[in-house]
């Protein structure tokens, strides 16, 4: 709201204090693997990967990353927040498209360096290309590969029109 | 089999040739997002993340990474291969524990920088701690957090005894 440097500084301090209160220190392998404390590990870039599945179908919708703030906001609000690497900013999923992800359940893995969100989405779609899931193509493996090698579409119709939803916003896909 | 330097060199060349034949060049966003070519994107470290779910239950079992060789071997053999960052080597999942992951379906995401494997595992277990899934703990979020903050176990009994399976092999979890 204000551009005064003290305001920015205190909001950063507040965000850090908030995530400090949420996240425990990593003390021992036993505590991390078998304990009841949330003590997530962020990588050298300060990020933790997150898999998001549809609560009803179990389908993997997307894989993204969170920084401390995104993980804290997801826990506090119950709505999925990620860190956008292409835009280098906090990403409240659905803020543009309206397809907010409501977290039904959050899980953390054994060594606490990965998060799993089970979500419900109004409209059911998640992918910026317009499909329900980002994983709309199958790769033939093993014996199947002998018959054909081309990717196979698992969704044949888009759930929404990306042009109508995102307009001229730059496509996040990078070559 | 042989320690002769030429043998090693030619096997590296063969592995590269094999993955070159499998993986297409990334030419345009349209080709990557809407096409039928497998043209995966490996990060600066040469890795691509992979989510692995149980084909029957849909449960997320683990999240790991693959290098070019691991992805090529998974496609060719129909059994999950990863890159072990802790051991810095190709990791044929189940080679030690016997809990091999048979790939029923492989998917690739919109920008082809992430893989999803749907697998069947003899014995049903996947996690080195002994649980079925690595994601055996729930993190309370949103309104639920007001009631309690401790992680909640979703599996109450281990599927196997890690000591019996892995013996004194070092635990891959790092603080």
* Distance, CA of A6 to CA of A20 (rounded, Å): 21
Which of B75, B53, B100, B170 is CA-nearest to residue A57?
A: B53
Which of A36-40, A110-114, B163-167 is least confident? Answer: B163-167
B111 strand-pairing partners: none
Neighboring chain A residues of B58 at a CB cutoff of 8 Å: 53, 57-59
* Tens-place pLDDT, residues B49-100: 999 999 998 999 999 999 999 999 999 999 999 999 989 999 999 888 788 9
Give domain limits for chain A: 6-124
The CATH class of the B9-124 domain is alpha beta
pLDDT at B150 over 60: yes
Neighboring chain B residues of A111 at a CB cutoff of 8 Å: 172-174
- B60 interfacial to chain A (CB closer than 8 Å): yes
> How far from each other are the two terminal CA atoms of chain B, in whole angstroms?
36
How are the residues of chain B apportioned to helix, strand and coil, as percentages rounded to the nearest 5? 25, 25, 50
The pLDDT value recorded for residue A14 is 54
Neighboring chain A residues of B152 at a CB cutoff of 8 Å: 36
> How far from each other are the two terminal CA atoms of chain A, in whole angstroms?
36
* Distance, CA of B114 to CA of A62 (rounded, Å): 9
Which of A13-17, A45-49, B48-52, B74-78 is least confident? Answer: A13-17
Neighboring chain A residues of B136 at a CB cutoff of 8 Å: 107, 110
Residues B114-119: what's their mean pLDDT? 97
Residues A64-73: what's their mean pLDDT? 96
- Write out residues 91-110 of A within 8 Å (CB-CB) of B: 103, 105-110
The pLDDT value recorded for residue B38 is 95
* Tens-place pLDDT, residues A80-100: 999 999 899 999 998 887 889
Which of A24-28, A59-63, B1-5, B137-141 is least confident? Answer: B1-5
The pLDDT value recorded for residue B16 is 55
CA distance, residue B9 to nearest chain A CA (Å): 26
Closest by Cβ to A60, choosing from B53, B103, B140: B53
Residue of chain A whose Cα is closest to the Cα of B170: A29
The model's pTM is: 0.83
* Tens-place pLDDT, residues A52-66: 999 998 999 999 999
- B38 interfacial to chain A (CB closer than 8 Å): yes
User: What is the C-alpha radius of gyration for chain A, rounded to an integer number of angstroms?
Assistant: 19
* Distance, CA of A115 to CA of B60 (rounded, Å): 10
- pLDDT-derived band at B18 (thresholds 50, 70, 90) equals low
Does B105 sit within 8 Å of A75, measured CB to CB?
no
CA distance, residue A100 to nearest chain B CA (Å): 15
The pLDDT value recorded for residue A15 is 54
* Distance, CA of B132 to CA of A117 (rounded, Å): 18
CATH topology for A6-124 is: Ubiquitin-like (UB roll) (3.10.20)
Closest by Cβ to A107, choosing from B58, B139, B150: B139
Closest by Cβ to B134, choosing from A78, A105, A109: A109
Residues B10-26: what's their mean pLDDT? 68
């Amino acid at each position: 709201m204000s551009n005064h440097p003290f305001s920015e500084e205190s909001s950063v301090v507040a965000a850090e204090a908030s995530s400090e209160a949420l996240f425990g220190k990593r003390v021992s392998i036993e505590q991390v693997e078998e304990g009841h404390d949330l003590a997530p590990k962020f990588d050298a870039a300060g990020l933790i990967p997150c898999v998001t599945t549809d609560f009803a179908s179990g389908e993997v919708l997307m894989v993204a990353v969170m920084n401390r703030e995104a993980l804290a906001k997801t826990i506090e609000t119950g709505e999925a927040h990620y860190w956008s690497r292409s835009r280098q900013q906090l990403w409240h999923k659905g803020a543009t498209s309206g397809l907010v992800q409501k977290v039904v359940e959050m899980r953390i893995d054994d060594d606490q360096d990965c998060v799993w969100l089970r979500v419900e989405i109004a409209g059911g779609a998640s992918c910026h290309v317009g499909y329900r899931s980002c994983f709309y193509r199958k790769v033939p493996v093993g014996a199947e590969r002998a018959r054909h090698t081309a990717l196979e579409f698992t969704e044949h119709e888009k759930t929404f029109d990306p042009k109508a939803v995102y307009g001229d916003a730059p496509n996040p896909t990078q070559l």
